[in-house]
Amino acid sequence: MAFRVQSQSFWRATAKLATVPRVTTPAPQWIRNYAVDQRKRTAIVTGSARGIGKAIALRLAQDGYDICVNDIPANKAGAEEVVSEIKGLGRNAFPYMADVSNLKEVESLVGASVSELGDLNAMIANAGIAQVKGLLDLTEQDLRRMFEVNVYGVYNCYSTAAKQMIKQGGGGKILGAASIVAFKPFPLLSHYSASKWAVRGLTQAMAMELATHKITVNAYAPGIVGTAMWDLIDEELGKLKGAKKGDTIKKYTDELIALGRTSVPEDVSNTVSFLASKDSDYMTGQTIVIDGGIIFT
């Protein structure tokens, strides 16, 4: 049966409703609360008297870590300056001089950090060296020294930190310095490239073996960074190719980097901050490229 409403009645009803005050409910204000990790956390950052290592140490201090600032004795003054900056941020820090290529010194480094700061939560195996030299011109000593620092040094840090973390229980974060040359070698940087490929492989293997202990192992792969190391690479490549100082980095930046600028250490430390945080707890065995768009994985 059809239901009919007279048009006049409907108009009166709607007019009456129109006089009723309208009650509005404010739109809900969605607020996301992030849990702040208040635990005491400590980290060792090797090669942190300057450059990328310094930026990492300062960033992790801002993130709430107490820091053991490590470098070789020749860079002691720089390490002490970094310690002062960290203390200025309200975190604890101390310098410890050790050569990462020497296992005994790395063991002493970890022991000193635990004694001074408490349980070790993160190891950043950042220390490394570079050399510009043609592959057929390399000496046995050139190759040996490159691997002693860049591969043995990373292994010494990884393994010693892992043993300490396993002893403590509760897991941990282990990070190593790779490079874009761990994905695509550069000419005249052959042995440096090979050493960084080794870091990438070691990182993957360590990640598999340490996963049962809730220890994650990842690496970060910077590109062309405005640091003393890249100043040296620029200078040496310039000598070989007859280019002026600064021209090689500029050429690489203009031709290779999608974002069109040379990286700064803070570009790398921002990524390390993530890898050392709880946000990366489900990542392990990865090598993260931070190069402005040179290598695409």
Per 3-state DSSP, what percentage of the chain is helix, strand, and coil (rounded to 5)?
50, 15, 35
Residue 83 in domain:
yes
Residue 55 in domain:
yes
Q: Confirm if 175 and 123 have CB atoms less than 8 A apart.
A: yes
Q: Confirm if 74 and 102 have CB atoms less than 8 A apart.
A: no
Global pTM?
0.84
Q: Confirm if 71 and 127 have CB atoms less than 8 A apart.
A: yes
CA trace torsion 106, 109, 115, 116 (10° rounding): -160
Instruction: Give the DSSP letter of residue 149.
Output: I
Bridge partners (DSSP) of residue 123 are 44, 174
Residue 13 in domain:
no
Residue 128's φ and ψ, nearest 5 degrees, are -170, 165
282 in active site = no
Residue 259 in domain:
no
Compute how many other C-beta atoms are within 10 angstroms of the C-beta atom of residue 97: 16
Residue 117 in domain:
yes
DSSP assignment string, 125-171: E-------B-GGG--HHHHHHHHIIIIIHHHHHHHHHHHHHHHH-S-
pLDDT tens per residue across all 297 residues of the chain: 444 444 443 333 334 434 444 444 454 454 444 344 557 899 999 999 999 999 999 999 999 999 999 999 999 999 999 999 999 999 999 999 999 999 999 999 999 999 999 999 999 999 999 998 999 999 999 999 999 999 999 999 999 999 999 999 999 999 999 999 999 998 889 999 999 999 999 999 999 999 999 999 999 999 988 777 777 777 777 777 777 887 777 887 889 999 999 999 999 999 999 999 999 999 999 999 999 999 998
Residue 191 in domain:
yes
Domain span holding position 105? 38-223+264-289
Tens digits of residue pLDDT in 180-233 = 999 999 888 999 999 999 999 999 999 999 999 999 999 999 998 877 777 777
Residue 296 in domain:
no
Six token digits for residue 277: 């945080």
Among residues 192, 220, 252, 282, which one is catalytic? 192
Instruction: Give the DSSP letter of residue 48.
Output: -
Residue 184 in domain:
yes
Indicate the number of domains in the chain.
Answer: 1
CA trace torsion 269, 55, 255, 243 (10° rounding): -160
Six token digits for residue 233: 């690479």
Tens digits of residue pLDDT in 85-103 = 999 999 999 999 999 999 9
In angstroms, rounded to a whole number, what is the distance separating the alpha carbons of residues 271 and 290? 8
Q: Which of 254, 267, 162 is nearest to 220 (CA)?
A: 267
In angstroms, rounded to a whole number, what is the distance separating the alpha carbons of residues 86 and 65? 10
CATH number at residue 175: 3.40.50.720
Q: Confirm if 71 and 46 have CB atoms less than 8 A apart.
A: yes
CA 127 to chain centre: 12
